[in-house]
Chain A
Amino acid sequence: TQLLEQSPQFLSIQEGENLTVYCNSSSVFSSLQWYRQEPGEGPVLLVTVVTGGEVKKLKRLTFQFGDARKDSSLHITAAQPGDTGLYLCAGAKDTGFQKLVFGTGTRLLVSP
Protein backbone atom coordinates (compact mmCIF):
# COMPACT_ATOMS: atom_id res chain seq x y z
CA THR A 1 0.00 0.00 0.00
CA GLN A 2 1.35 3.39 -0.96
CA LEU A 3 1.19 5.79 1.93
CA LEU A 4 0.82 9.51 1.88
CA GLU A 5 1.59 10.98 5.26
CA GLN A 6 0.46 14.45 6.14
CA SER A 7 1.79 16.71 8.84
CA PRO A 8 0.75 18.15 11.09
CA GLN A 9 -2.36 16.09 11.85
CA PHE A 10 -4.00 19.02 13.62
CA LEU A 11 -3.33 22.73 13.56
CA SER A 12 -5.05 25.43 15.59
CA ILE A 13 -4.08 29.02 14.77
CA GLN A 14 -5.32 32.59 15.03
CA GLU A 15 -6.73 34.53 12.11
CA GLY A 16 -3.96 36.24 10.16
CA GLU A 17 -1.27 33.65 10.81
CA ASN A 18 0.55 31.74 8.08
CA LEU A 19 0.79 27.95 7.98
CA THR A 20 2.20 25.12 5.89
CA VAL A 21 0.87 21.58 5.57
CA TYR A 22 3.09 18.81 4.25
CA CYS A 23 2.28 15.67 2.29
CA ASN A 24 5.08 13.09 1.99
CA SER A 25 5.51 9.70 0.38
CA SER A 26 8.23 7.29 -0.65
CA SER A 27 6.35 6.70 -3.92
CA VAL A 28 6.41 8.75 -7.10
CA PHE A 29 3.08 10.09 -8.30
CA SER A 30 2.12 11.31 -11.75
CA SER A 31 -0.01 14.01 -10.19
CA LEU A 32 -1.07 15.17 -6.77
CA GLN A 33 -4.28 16.80 -5.66
CA TRP A 34 -5.36 18.76 -2.63
CA TYR A 35 -8.92 18.58 -1.36
CA ARG A 36 -10.70 20.46 1.42
CA GLN A 37 -13.47 18.83 3.38
CA GLU A 38 -15.92 20.65 5.64
CA PRO A 39 -17.90 18.93 8.38
CA GLY A 40 -20.78 16.84 7.04
CA GLU A 41 -19.67 17.18 3.44
CA GLY A 42 -17.52 15.35 0.94
CA PRO A 43 -14.05 16.53 -0.11
CA VAL A 44 -13.87 19.27 -2.75
CA LEU A 45 -10.91 19.59 -5.10
CA LEU A 46 -8.70 22.67 -4.62
CA VAL A 47 -5.88 22.03 -7.07
CA THR A 48 -4.03 19.44 -9.14
CA VAL A 49 -0.26 19.63 -9.66
CA VAL A 50 1.35 17.43 -12.32
CA THR A 51 4.93 18.61 -12.94
CA GLY A 52 7.83 18.18 -10.52
CA GLY A 53 8.62 21.56 -8.96
CA GLU A 54 5.30 23.04 -10.03
CA VAL A 55 3.85 25.85 -7.95
CA LYS A 56 0.20 26.86 -8.15
CA LYS A 57 -1.53 29.71 -6.37
CA LEU A 58 -5.17 29.93 -5.46
CA LYS A 59 -5.71 33.32 -3.81
CA ARG A 60 -3.99 32.96 -0.41
CA LEU A 61 -3.19 29.27 -0.92
CA THR A 62 0.09 28.18 -2.54
CA PHE A 63 0.63 24.57 -3.58
CA GLN A 64 3.97 23.04 -4.51
CA PHE A 65 4.81 19.64 -5.98
CA GLY A 66 8.24 18.32 -5.04
CA ASP A 67 10.91 18.03 -7.73
CA ALA A 68 10.91 14.22 -7.41
CA ARG A 69 7.06 14.12 -7.38
CA LYS A 70 7.04 12.33 -4.02
CA ASP A 71 5.86 15.20 -1.84
CA SER A 72 3.81 18.35 -1.80
CA SER A 73 3.07 21.30 0.42
CA LEU A 74 0.18 23.67 0.96
CA HIS A 75 0.93 27.12 2.33
CA ILE A 76 -1.82 29.44 3.52
CA THR A 77 -1.06 33.12 3.97
CA ALA A 78 -3.05 35.19 6.45
CA ALA A 79 -5.43 32.38 7.37
CA GLN A 80 -9.11 33.20 7.84
CA PRO A 81 -11.83 31.35 9.77
CA GLY A 82 -13.28 30.29 6.41
CA ASP A 83 -10.13 28.22 5.82
CA THR A 84 -11.14 25.90 8.67
CA GLY A 85 -11.56 22.32 7.51
CA LEU A 86 -9.86 19.02 6.80
CA TYR A 87 -7.18 19.21 4.11
CA LEU A 88 -6.44 16.01 2.21
CA CYS A 89 -3.71 15.35 -0.31
CA ALA A 90 -4.21 12.59 -2.86
CA GLY A 91 -1.67 11.10 -5.22
CA ALA A 92 -2.39 9.51 -8.58
CA LYS A 93 -0.38 6.89 -10.46
CA ASP A 94 -0.63 6.87 -14.23
CA THR A 95 -1.82 3.27 -14.43
CA GLY A 96 -4.74 3.82 -16.75
CA PHE A 97 -7.13 3.73 -13.84
CA GLN A 98 -7.98 6.85 -11.90
CA LYS A 99 -7.07 5.51 -8.49
CA LEU A 100 -6.15 8.06 -5.89
CA VAL A 101 -4.19 7.34 -2.71
CA PHE A 102 -5.35 9.71 -0.01
CA GLY A 103 -3.26 11.15 2.77
CA THR A 104 -4.20 10.93 6.41
CA GLY A 105 -5.49 14.52 6.51
CA THR A 106 -4.67 17.74 8.34
CA ARG A 107 -7.42 19.29 10.42
CA LEU A 108 -7.11 23.08 10.46
CA LEU A 109 -8.93 25.36 12.91
CA VAL A 110 -8.63 29.10 12.41
CA SER A 111 -10.02 31.17 15.26
CA PRO A 112 -11.10 34.82 14.90
Chain B
Amino acid sequence: NAGVTQTPKFRILKIGQSMTLQCTQDMNHNYMYWYRQDPGMGLKLIYYSVGAGITDKGEVPNGYNVSRSTTEDFPLRLELAAPSQTSVYFCASSYSAGQKRSYEQYFGPGTRLTVT
Protein backbone atom coordinates (compact mmCIF):
# COMPACT_ATOMS: atom_id res chain seq x y z
CA ASN B 1 0.00 0.00 0.00
CA ALA B 2 1.19 3.49 -0.82
CA GLY B 3 -0.82 4.96 2.08
CA VAL B 4 -1.64 8.65 1.59
CA THR B 5 -0.11 10.33 -1.45
CA GLN B 6 -0.12 14.04 -2.23
CA THR B 7 0.79 15.98 -5.35
CA PRO B 8 2.55 18.25 -6.03
CA LYS B 9 5.32 18.32 -3.42
CA PHE B 10 6.14 21.96 -4.09
CA ARG B 11 4.35 24.80 -5.84
CA ILE B 12 4.80 28.52 -6.23
CA LEU B 13 1.69 30.54 -7.08
CA LYS B 14 1.19 34.18 -7.91
CA ILE B 15 -1.44 36.12 -6.00
CA GLY B 16 -4.88 35.49 -7.49
CA GLN B 17 -4.00 32.21 -9.19
CA SER B 18 -5.89 29.01 -8.53
CA MET B 19 -4.75 25.46 -8.01
CA THR B 20 -5.83 22.06 -6.74
CA LEU B 21 -3.84 20.02 -4.27
CA GLN B 22 -4.39 16.33 -4.87
CA CYS B 23 -4.73 13.68 -2.16
CA THR B 24 -5.31 9.95 -2.60
CA GLN B 25 -5.39 7.13 -0.06
CA ASP B 26 -5.48 3.39 -0.78
CA MET B 27 -6.36 2.14 2.71
CA ASN B 28 -10.15 2.31 2.22
CA HIS B 29 -10.40 4.86 5.03
CA ASN B 30 -13.73 6.63 5.34
CA TYR B 31 -12.42 9.79 7.04
CA MET B 32 -10.14 12.26 5.28
CA TYR B 33 -8.73 15.61 6.37
CA TRP B 34 -6.82 18.62 5.12
CA TYR B 35 -4.50 20.51 7.46
CA ARG B 36 -2.16 23.41 7.07
CA GLN B 37 1.01 23.71 9.11
CA ASP B 38 2.60 27.08 9.73
CA PRO B 39 5.89 27.49 11.62
CA GLY B 40 5.35 27.26 15.38
CA MET B 41 1.59 26.88 14.97
CA GLY B 42 1.01 23.14 14.89
CA LEU B 43 -1.60 21.75 12.50
CA LYS B 44 -4.87 23.53 11.75
CA LEU B 45 -7.82 21.64 10.26
CA ILE B 46 -9.11 23.18 7.02
CA TYR B 47 -11.78 20.72 5.86
CA TYR B 48 -12.71 17.15 6.56
CA SER B 49 -14.87 14.41 5.07
CA VAL B 50 -16.57 11.47 6.76
CA GLY B 51 -17.26 9.67 3.51
CA ALA B 52 -17.81 10.09 -0.20
CA GLY B 53 -20.14 13.00 -0.89
CA ILE B 54 -19.90 14.43 2.66
CA THR B 55 -17.59 17.30 3.58
CA ASP B 56 -17.54 19.93 6.30
CA LYS B 57 -15.51 22.93 7.43
CA GLY B 58 -12.75 22.72 9.95
CA GLU B 59 -11.06 25.47 11.89
CA VAL B 60 -9.67 27.57 8.99
CA PRO B 61 -11.79 26.95 5.82
CA ASN B 62 -11.80 30.46 4.31
CA GLY B 63 -10.19 30.58 0.87
CA TYR B 64 -10.45 26.83 0.29
CA ASN B 65 -12.91 24.33 -1.13
CA VAL B 66 -13.04 20.56 -1.18
CA SER B 67 -14.96 17.72 -2.80
CA ARG B 68 -15.12 14.01 -2.11
CA SER B 69 -16.57 12.09 -5.05
CA THR B 70 -14.81 8.82 -4.21
CA THR B 71 -13.52 7.14 -1.06
CA GLU B 72 -9.94 7.41 -2.30
CA ASP B 73 -9.66 11.05 -3.38
CA PHE B 74 -10.02 14.31 -1.47
CA PRO B 75 -8.72 17.31 -3.48
CA LEU B 76 -8.29 20.75 -1.94
CA ARG B 77 -8.95 23.77 -4.15
CA LEU B 78 -7.49 27.24 -3.70
CA GLU B 79 -9.49 29.68 -5.82
CA LEU B 80 -7.74 33.05 -5.39
CA ALA B 81 -4.36 32.47 -3.83
CA ALA B 82 -3.22 34.96 -1.18
CA PRO B 83 0.14 35.30 0.59
CA SER B 84 -1.58 34.21 3.83
CA GLN B 85 -2.05 30.78 2.22
CA THR B 86 1.70 30.20 2.08
CA SER B 87 2.06 27.06 4.18
CA VAL B 88 2.67 23.33 4.16
CA TYR B 89 -0.50 21.38 3.48
CA PHE B 90 -1.07 17.86 4.77
CA CYS B 91 -3.75 15.41 3.82
CA ALA B 92 -4.63 12.64 6.29
CA SER B 93 -7.03 9.74 6.57
CA SER B 94 -8.43 7.52 9.29
CA TYR B 95 -10.95 4.73 9.75
CA SER B 96 -14.02 4.47 11.94
CA ALA B 97 -16.76 1.86 11.99
CA GLY B 98 -19.56 1.97 14.55
CA GLN B 99 -18.17 1.87 18.08
CA LYS B 100 -14.70 0.98 16.80
CA ARG B 101 -13.15 4.39 16.72
CA SER B 102 -9.46 4.79 16.12
CA TYR B 103 -8.25 8.35 16.16
CA GLU B 104 -4.98 7.42 14.49
CA GLN B 105 -4.54 9.53 11.43
CA TYR B 106 -2.23 8.61 8.57
CA PHE B 107 -0.59 11.58 6.91
CA GLY B 108 0.73 12.22 3.44
CA PRO B 109 4.17 13.78 2.85
CA GLY B 110 2.77 17.28 2.39
CA THR B 111 2.68 20.00 -0.26
CA ARG B 112 4.80 23.10 0.31
CA LEU B 113 2.98 26.08 -1.21
CA THR B 114 4.36 29.58 -1.60
CA VAL B 115 2.15 32.46 -2.77
CA THR B 116 4.00 35.56 -3.95
Contact = CB atoms under 8 A, between A and B. Distances in A.
Interface stretch (A14-22, A51-59, A62-70, A100-108): A100-108
B4 A92 contact: no
A88 B92 CA distance: 15
Contact of A33 (B31, B35, B103): B103
B52 interface: no
Interface string A74-99: 00000000000000101010100111
Nearest to A104: B42
Contacts of A100: 45, 103, 105
A48 B43 contact: no
A40 interface: yes
Interface residues of B, number: 27
B4 A42 contact: yes
Contacts, number: 58
A43 to B, nearest CB: 5
A4 B42 CA distance: 9
A102 B109 contact: no
A42 B109 contact: yes
B74 interface: no
A11 interface: no
A31 interface: yes
Interface of B: 4, 31, 35, 40-45, 48, 50, 58-59, 90, 92, 94, 96, 101-110
Interface of A: 1, 4, 9, 31, 33, 40-45, 48, 88, 90, 92, 94, 97-100, 102-105
